[in-house]
Amino acid sequence: MMPASTEILLIEDSLAEARLLQEFLQAAKSKQFRLTHVKRLQAGLEQLRSRSFDIILLDLTLPDSQGLASLAPLNKIAPSLPIVVLTNTNDEELAIEAVRQGAQDYLVKRQVNTEVLVRSLLYAIERKQAAESLRSANEALQVQFQERSVELAKAQEANQVTSEFVSMLSHDFRNPLTTILLSTGLLEYNGHRLTNETKLTHFQLIRSAIANMNNLLEEVILIGKADVGKLQCNPTEFSLEPFCRQLVSEFQLTISDRHQLIFSSFGEFPKQSWDESLLRHILTNLLSNAIKYSPAGGLIKFEVTAQATAVTFKIQDSGIGIPQEYQKQLFQPFTRAENTDTIPGTGLGLAIVKRCIEAYKGQISVNSEIGLGTTFTVVLPLPETLT
């Protein structure tokens, strides 16, 4: 196959010069050249708009444009096209300036012959191509660099979150461990001086410290599972209303006389499949918060409403409320609001609630006012009705 000829756009007002160049090109043996000749810059720009060329040969003195002023409009229309400027013997400096401003080469008119012309054209095309690929490689590199920077920032952020998580976790483990250490020490070295009653108290302290640690561990494992997408909804056939009633009576055993926990349900509850473990995590955390953050006691309302396609759970307390500015962080593990004072907690409960609700593809919202109370509303889409 014949290699395609090199398409040249010659912008040159002198017909004689144009003819001379045409003759030089026709004499070229190494390659085929096709010359399109126009006399004015405007005509050259029109040619560039209508078809494609490999190179521009540009005279720097044109009737409608003088000197370097021709370069900008040409570059604008055909930024990747190489330009070789043609110049007279007396304005070589201008030609050098043109090269500085982006032209690939210059030819002094009286010194041109076939060999010089062909070499200049081919080199110009090659140089421009090299410059273009360098530019696009550079651009690609910059994009890559930006992407890498973003990745790096994300990784650093993740590391930061992980290390915060670990430091808080170790802190929360240390408390029960200290209890165990103190109590066992006391029992071991001073056992003979302790009454049976005191001994029992210490054994109970140890037991509850171990239970605390176990809970904490399970919660962290749950969050870990959720974060790697392994917390899934595994529904089994299950009656929702009795389950809620049972949960409430378990809570009623533990609350003080100051608290009143009232359960009500609305709507029809057909037999459905639910994930009991997820439900338990969601409801026990919300109910225990409602009780815990109502230190002065008061009414806690737990309402369940069955609708056609979803069930809504509403847990309302008249406790201390959640500060507005903390509400953004409510579901972040290990965070707690400032108004919790001496009320104990690790800040994991709601993080777990949120993840369980996500596993259910449900939604949670909160409405709270300092000193007045808090209402959490959870909407879980109904699993398929069992037949």
CB of 294 to ligand ATP, least distance (A): 7
Regarding 368 and contact with Mg ion (CB under 5 A), the answer is no
Residues in contact with ligand ATP by CB under 6 A are 285, 289-290, 293, 317, 319-322, 330, 336-337, 340, 345-351, 374
d(CA 53, CA 8): 6
Q: Which is nearer to ligand ATP, 6 or 316 (CB)?
A: 316
Task: Please report how close the Cβ of residue 172 comes to Mg ion at its closest, in angstroms.
Answer: 13
- Residues 338-357, one symbol each (x = binds Mg ion by CB under 5 A, - = not), give -----------x--------
Angle (CA) 309 261 208, round 5°:
105
Which listed option, ligand ATP, Mg ion, none, makes contact with residue 199 (CB within 5 to 8 Å by class)? Answer: none
For the purposes of burial, counting CB atoms within 10 Å of the CB of 68, is it exposed (0-12), middle (13-18) or buried (19 or more)? Answer: middle
Residue whose entry in the numeric block shows the structure tokens 């809504």: 312
**Dihedral angle over CA of 39, 43, 45, 49, nearest 10:** -140
CB atoms within 10 A of CB 172: 20
Cβ proximity to ligand ATP, 278 vs 350, nearer residue: 350
Write down the least CB distance from residue 150 to Mg ion, Å.
Answer: 35
Q: In what order do the strands lie in the sheet with 6-11?
A: 33-38, 6-11, 55-59, 83-87, 105-108
Residue 330 binding: pick among Mg ion, ligand ATP, none (C-beta 5-8 Å cut-off by kind): ligand ATP
- Considering beta carbons, is residue 37 or 354 the nearer one to ligand ATP? 354
Facing residues of 61 across strands?
Answer: 66
The site string for Mg ion over 279-298 (x = CB under 5 A, - otherwise) reads ----------x---------
Q: Does 319 bind Mg ion (CB under 5 A)?
A: no
- The answer to whether residue 321 forms part of the interface with Mg ion (CB under 5 A) is no
| CA–CA dist 155, 139 (Å, integer) | 24
Residues making contact with Mg ion (CB under 5 A): 289, 349
